[in-house]
Copies of this chain bind each other. A is one copy, B any other.
Amino acid sequence: MSSLTAFNQEDISEVGRDLYGFAAELYPICRSITGDGIRRTLSMISERTPLQIHEVPSGTKVFDWIVPKEWNIRDAYIVRPDGKRIAEFQKCNLHVLNYSTPIHKRMPLSELRPHLFTIPENPDWIPYRTSYYKEDWGFCLSHNEMLGLKDGEYEVRIDSTLKDGSLTYGECLIPGQSTDEVLISSHACHPSLANDNLSGLTVATELAKFLSGRDLRYSYRFVFIPGTIGAITWLARNGDAAKRVRHGLVLTGLGDSGHFHYKKSRQGDAEIDRAAAHVLAHFAKPSEILAFSPYGYDERQYCSPGFNLALGCLMRSVWGSFPEYHTSADNLEFIHPHQLADSFRLCAAIFNVLENNRTYRNLQPYCEPQLGRRNLYRPTGGESIGDEIHARLWVLNLSDGQHSLLDIAERSGLSFQTIHNAADLLMQSELLSLVPESDEQERTAKTKSSATAPR
């Protein structure tokens, strides 16, 4: 299998510039869960990695939900009594309550006020608010601007349409040797918000480009979807693909300066959970592992009890935990090229564990084989040994057909890469055989079934 961890500093700088540049291109677009904003976004992603674009008609039933009407918007603003235009959509698309129904009307401030959203704690920022499933209209503006509003007649205009159309999503399958899939999901419905989720979209796009054409163990499916309704729609239409998902990641919030967080799947001890925890522990200090909870991003859908997919969520700062979250301050200054690039590299390292986490059998299981005559040991007795030789001893000791390389990395405290290199070397020396994947899966299934259901 490919090694997915061989980057030099120059590669990474290049990747960072590319990720940031793409985020900057996507930033101005007014995305929503349906409509031309997301359609144009998917088309731009498609120029970098070929996407299959799906259009699902409004009114389609998807599990307990119905694909909503398509929303499009041309303009929106408020004219103050003194004639000044404020909350101009053309200046910042966050100004309009996303999915607002059209309106063009004069009204007193008292009638307008309930339709205005602000953030008193950060009085200069514009909040991001939506009203997808309750037909309504509204404006988001800075608290200071709202405080300055005087009584009088206001002109309110939202030039939007909400009518039958379709929900749009894109997907891209990078085939591997196995039809078992790794699912990477990013929501593509947020308007001008850089970290949430242009960072996820761009990193996912870059990963798809990176994996494409490689000799891979798993097939990798990237889905770019509107949040919630998009994941539900994808799952409703792709039951068979969902059954093939063995591992997965929701990618979001990967551009800010916070340290990494990985939120575990509902299963809690899935291979993806252990792979992500291992990579974070070795390559992203400090970092934090969060327990699963049924609130957050689209892992809510993938980890619903009927699916219970082995899919966690990788992010830097946790949604809702930083003041810029869902505000105009989550802009292009809030994300940085090298933070995006590190996120990309971390994802690749996690995939690298999944790709190479195989189980071996020591062909000389009775006592240690004589590593010295194979030049796999130190030459002079009495001296200490380094990680590389320790790794060989660990791999030989635990390769009884019951321990994967990740098991061995966890128990030894050595990095997966060091363990994997040792296994490669021992394979070359014909001291190991590879356990067929079918036997491995049987073992895993047996262990799982005897395990107590997680509480």
Contacts and interface: CB of A to CB of B under 8 A. Distances in A.
Interface stretch (A338-346, A360-368, A433-441): A360-368
A362 B308 CA distance: 13
A453 B443 CA distance: 11
28 contacts: A63-B366, A65-B367, A98-B381, A128-B382, A129-B383, A130-B381, A130-B382, A133-B373, A134-B379, A228-B368, A293-B412, A294-B394, A294-B396, A294-B398, A304-B365, A304-B397, A305-B362, A305-B396, A305-B397, A305-B399, A305-B400, A306-B362, A306-B367, A307-B366, A326-B382, A411-B454, A447-B453, A450-B450
A6 interface: no
Interface in A299-319: 300-301, 303-308
A259 interface: no
Given A370-B133, A379-B134, A447-B453, A385 B295 contact: yes
A64 B370 contact: yes
A234 to B, nearest CB: 10
Interface string A365-379: 111111011000001
Contact of A364 (B64, B127, B400, B451): B64
Nearest 4 pairs between A and B by C-beta?
A306-B365, A130-B381, A294-B397, A306-B366
A422 B396 CA distance: 45
A270 interface: no
Given A306-B365, A306-B366, A366-B306, A380 B455 contact: no
Interface of A: 62-65, 97-98, 117, 127-134, 228, 231-232, 235-236, 266, 293-295, 300-301, 303-308, 320, 326, 362, 364-370, 372-373, 379-385, 390, 393-394, 396-400, 402-403, 407, 410-412, 447, 450-455
Contacts of A64: 364, 367-370
A373 B66 CA distance: 11
A384 B396 CA distance: 51
A403 B455 contact: yes
A134 B372 contact: yes
A97 B399 CA distance: 34
Contact of A403 (B98, B231, B308, B453): B453
What is the total number of copies of this protein in its complex?
3
A452 B411 CA distance: 14
Nearest to A382: B129
A63 B451 contact: no
Nearest to A453: B402
Contacts of A127: 382
Contacts of A384: 320
A156 B233 CA distance: 83
B63 A305 contact: no
Given A366-B306, A397-B303, A379 B131 contact: yes
A301 to B, nearest CB: 4
A118 to B, nearest CB: 12
B235 A366 contact: yes
A132 B381 contact: yes
Contacts of A320: 384
Contacts of A398: 294, 305
Nearest to A451: B452
Contacts of A365: 304-306
Most buried by B among A98, A117, A305, A412: A305
Contacts of A306: 362, 365-367
Nearest to A381: B130
Most buried by B among A128, A367, A411: A367
Nearest to A233: B367
A429 to B, nearest CB: 11
Nearest to A394: B294
